[in-house]
């Protein structure tokens, strides 16, 4: 692929993306402020001649100057604050870390002579409570119900406008709930951590009927790379997800079984706004992945298998 820049490459999904590129013998640079990522995730590559790590923050103009502006052929932008629940408490944090950070990156790209391809990790939450399930990429109008979803949609709009105005290619990924090794976020991780502290009971936010699809991180990374290599449009949007759903009660039961626990009492908080876990929690999500399947990709694991594999990896640590 040429020289690859992974922004947020020390994080959960980013570090798996780095692993794949390094095992393909690509030249990789990681730019990460280590606020949620960790060098442990990419430690195996730190002494590799084809790998470069730069500690930096997209919100700091001086940090961006550390990057070789004309050296990258592909930029994967995965840096973001992924905490959906934060939006109902401190929305400005999500705006800064998602929208402002992306705007700064786009200004950086605008000054580049070689116009690298930009791949951006967005989210299924941009759809809000879609009336069409499974939801295709051309569904509209997009009405996110969380600040997080709104900031990601704003990023999509900026990326599209910059790509058309300044002549570079952009690929946007609307990703489902990603699970797997190195995750420090999301319902599977939360359940494992709660049961480590108390194996007799498990608190579940909401009424347990929230139903969503789950995607293993390996499938996610493979889809991103596949789409970047196979798509041809100037600005492309792809859903990345499994093709089935699991409700939160079932997720809890899978986690309990994989941890080898018995007689765990489930405690439902009841939630808000009709059983949601928090303000902005989408109760029913399933994405239509027909578009990326036409490029030759499909997930290897369904939602339940992805959850099981995620728990197996999490319980080792």
Would you please indicate which residues are annotated as catalytic (active-site) residues? 148
Give yes or no for a contact between 79 and 8, defined as CB atoms under 8 angstroms apart.
yes
Task: Round to whole Å and give the CA distance between 278 and 147.
Answer: 12
Axis-axis angle for helices 12-23, 217-230 (nearest 10): 60
Residue 175: name the closest of 213, 226, 231 by CA: 213
CA 310, 314, 316, 317: dihedral to nearest 10 degrees? 160
| Per-residue exposure over 116-145, b if at least 16 CB sit within 10 Å of its own CB, e if not | bbbbbbbbbbbbbebeeebbbbebeeeebb
Q: Is the peptide bond before 141 cis (omega within 30 degrees of 0)?
A: yes
Q: Find tokens 């976020």 and name the residue.
A: 185
Geometric angle at alpha carbon 310, from 305 and 314, rounded to 5°: 150
Residue 93: name the closest of 60, 59, 61 by CA: 59
Task: Round to whole Å and give the CA distance between 151 and 160.
Answer: 14
The set of residues, in sequence order, having a beta carbon less than 8 Å from that of 131 and lying 6+ positions away, is: none
């Amino acid at each position: 692929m040429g020289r690859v820049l992974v922004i947020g490459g020390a994080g959960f999904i980013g570090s798996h993306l780095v692993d794949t590129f390094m095992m393909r013998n690509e030249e990789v640079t990681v730019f990460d402020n280590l606020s949620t990522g960790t060098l442990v995730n990419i430690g195996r590559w730190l002494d590799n001649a084809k790998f470069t790590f730069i500690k930096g923050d997209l919100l700091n103009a001086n940090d961006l100057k550390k990057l070789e502006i004309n050296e990258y052929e592909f930029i994967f932008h995965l840096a973001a604050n992924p905490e959906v629940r934060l939006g109902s408490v401190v929305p400005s944090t999500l705006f800064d870390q998602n929208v402002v950070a992306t705007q700064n990156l786009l200004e950086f790209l605008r000054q580049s002579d070689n116009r690298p391809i930009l791949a951006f990790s967005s989210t299924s939450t941009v759809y809000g409570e879609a009336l069409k399930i499974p939801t295709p990429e051309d569904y509209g109008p997009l009405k996110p119900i969380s600040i997080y979803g709104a900031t990601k949609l704003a990023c999509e709009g900026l990326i599209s406008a910059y790509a058309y105005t300044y002549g570079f290619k952009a690929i946007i990924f609307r990703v489902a709930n990603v699970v797997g090794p190195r995750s420090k976020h999301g319902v599977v991780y939360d359940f494992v951590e709660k049961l480590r502290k108390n194996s007799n009971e498990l608190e579940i936010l909401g009424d347990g009927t929230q139903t969503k699809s789950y995607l293993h991180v390996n499938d996610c990374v493979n889809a991103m790379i596949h789409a970047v290599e196979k798509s041809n449009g100037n600005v492309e949007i792809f859903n990345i997800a499994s093709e089935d759903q699991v409700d939160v009660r079932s997720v809890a039961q899978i986690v309990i079984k994989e941890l080898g626990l018995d007689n765990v009492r489930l405690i439902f908080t009841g939630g808000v706004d009709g059983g949601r876990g928090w303000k902005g929690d989408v109760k029913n999500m399933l994405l239509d992945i027909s578009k990326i399947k036409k490029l030759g990709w499909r997930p290897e694991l369904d939602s339940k298998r992805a959850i099981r594999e995620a728990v197996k990896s999490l319980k080792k640590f």
